[in-house]
Amino acid sequence: MASAHSIPSIEERFEFTSGAKRNLLIGGGIGLGLVLLGVYLAATGGGGHEAAASGAEHAAAAVGHGAAEHASAGHEAAEGHGASWMTRVWANLWVNGVYFTGISVIGMFFISYNYLAQAGWSAVFKRVPEALPAFLPITGVIMLVTFFLGGHDLFHWTHEGLYEVGGPEYDPIIAGKRGFLNTPFFIFRLVFYFVVWYGMWRVIRNLSLQEDEIGGTEFYEKSIRFGTAFLVVFGVTSSTSAWDFVMSVDTHWFSTMFGWYTLASWHVAGLAVITLIIVMLRDRGYLRAVNSSHLRDLGKFVFAFSIFWTYVWFAQFLLIYYANLPEENIYYIERFRGHGGFFKAPFFITLLLNFFFPFLVLMTRDAKFTHSILKVACWSVIIGHYMDFYTNIMPGTLGANAGFGPLEWGFFLLFICAFGYSVASQLEKANLIPRNHPMLEESLHHDIA
């Protein structure tokens, strides 16, 4: 249905002002200050729980559920839980690296499935998701360095004694996974993910910029092919990277739904970031061609995929709860009862921020295009899914030594400011609206009655 309102100019250039740069640098500086404060508090005994008590409680819980042979669930109790403040730094770098990697690559995922569907509605704001993957090299380097320097503290499977048959640390379960979980192959996969994701984004990005300058449909058709190829690649690597980055932390535990679960979390967080950036740009006078129908559809995306994430979360939880197999339910026991119950609060806060709050706030039609409501809902999802990755990774890396204070908030603020700087730098490099996109006219007249 064609809109009756006049169409704003499609010639828009984003200006990354010195004031905006200064604010992001100040935010990053505050984040760094919080990190240093957190390190000081952690180093002087200002955080964490009693590791020995937690380890005994964890082992008792495992035995109590018929898992004596897994009371080496002792990967958490025996090793990382004597963790130092430096291990806490590595763990926070890993959590934020994984989280912002996901948000970044979802930008490519979003434009790829829109290309495959030959969707017209999103053309007017495609520069926003197109800018997100530029941050991938930063998170890739951070994660690679973190693994080299702190991987031994974060990943129990990196300990050589686990594979020595007859040795005191020998673990037949982990030894059986050595073909996949070994350091050279892990590093190869980590590098492969980032090189392929970033490389395919560069191709799509260059085609988009060429289309802006030259026009025609040739670049659009090539983008469809490359976008489709990316979806095939990402369909596999989104799961394998979830196993590597998150699930391998709890080496004994596994879930056949974990790839879907992580993708759902990354996806809705990425959608929230895309929506938030668009709303913030509109507040500053940009993207005037984005109308209430575009915003409503973005609100629907965030609303719908918050529900989808909850569906996958509940399906995984219900199957494990109902089957009550010790090697599976230990994952939830540790988060409900382990480590003095420290992780129970963030576990349920995750549900509140990622489902109940956005579900209720975005339920009405008008809420989905109201700027203030979209901002609140999107920030809830962004913070909520950070908490999701925190509760997925921290119990297996830090256990009783985990905390939630200046160190955690400082790293999150530091990463989000760096991410914002990267996105703003990309937005400045091209016209905000892809002037020669074949579907632009349809997008400019996108109107839902």
Residue 66 φ then ψ, to 5°: 75, 30
In the predicted structure, residue 68 carries a pLDDT above the cut 70: no
Per-residue confidence (pLDDT) for residue 443, from 0 to 100: 94
How large is the average pLDDT for residues 426-435? 94
H-assigned helices in 45-171 = 51-64, 74, 85-116, 127-131, 136-154
Within-domain flag for 251: yes
Per-residue confidence (pLDDT) for residue 232, from 0 to 100: 97
How large is the average pLDDT for residues 34-63? 61
Confidence of residue 400 (pLDDT cuts 50, 70, 90): confident
For residue 161, give Cα distances in angstroms to 55, 106, 264, 356, 399: 20, 38, 36, 45, 21
Within-domain flag for 148: yes
Per-residue confidence (pLDDT) for residue 73, from 0 to 100: 40
Within-domain flag for 66: no
Confidence of residue 51 (pLDDT cuts 50, 70, 90): very low
Number of domains, the chain: 1
pLDDT cut 90: percent of the chain above it: 76
Within-domain flag for 73: no
Residue 438 DSSP symbol: T
Sign of CA dihedral 157, 160, 164, 168: negative
Within-domain flag for 106: yes
pTM (2 decimals)?
A: 0.90
Within-domain flag for 58: no
In the predicted structure, residue 20 carries a pLDDT above the cut 60: yes
Residue type, 211: E
Per-residue confidence (pLDDT) for residue 424, from 0 to 100: 97
Residue type, 332: Y
Within-domain flag for 449: no
- The lowest-confidence range among 62-76, 293-307, 314-328, 384-398 is 62-76
Q: Are 440 and 27 in contact, with CB atoms under 8 Å apart?
A: no
pLDDT tens across 69-110, in order? 343 444 443 344 335 889 999 999 999 999 999 999 999 999
Greater confidence (208 vs 5) lies with 208
- The lowest-confidence range among 23-27, 59-63, 83-87, 441-445 is 59-63
Greater confidence (256 vs 134) lies with 134
Per-residue confidence (pLDDT) for residue 2, from 0 to 100: 41
Residue type, 439: M
User: How does the average pLDDT of the chain come out, rounded?
Assistant: 89
Within-domain flag for 12: no
Per-residue confidence (pLDDT) for residue 238, from 0 to 100: 96
CA–CA dist 196, 38 (Å, integer): 35
Q: Could you tell me the two tokens for 111? A: 């434009």
Confidence of residue 48 (pLDDT cuts 50, 70, 90): low
Greater confidence (67 vs 233) lies with 233
Length of the chain counted residue by residue:
449
How large is the average pLDDT for residues 109-127? 96
pLDDT cut 70: percent of the chain above it: 90
Sign of CA dihedral 444, 445, 448, 449: positive
Domain interval for residue 261: 18-52+80-444
Confidence of residue 47 (pLDDT cuts 50, 70, 90): low
In the predicted structure, residue 240 carries a pLDDT above the cut 60: yes
Residue type, 146: T
Identify the residue whose tokens are 């999107």: 378
Confidence of residue 395 (pLDDT cuts 50, 70, 90): very high
Per-residue confidence (pLDDT) for residue 75, from 0 to 100: 42
In the predicted structure, residue 261 carries a pLDDT above the cut 50: yes
pLDDT tens across 344-359, in order? 888 899 999 999 999 9
Question: For the chain, what is the radius of gyration of the CA atoms?
Answer: 23
In the predicted structure, residue 120 carries a pLDDT above the cut 70: yes
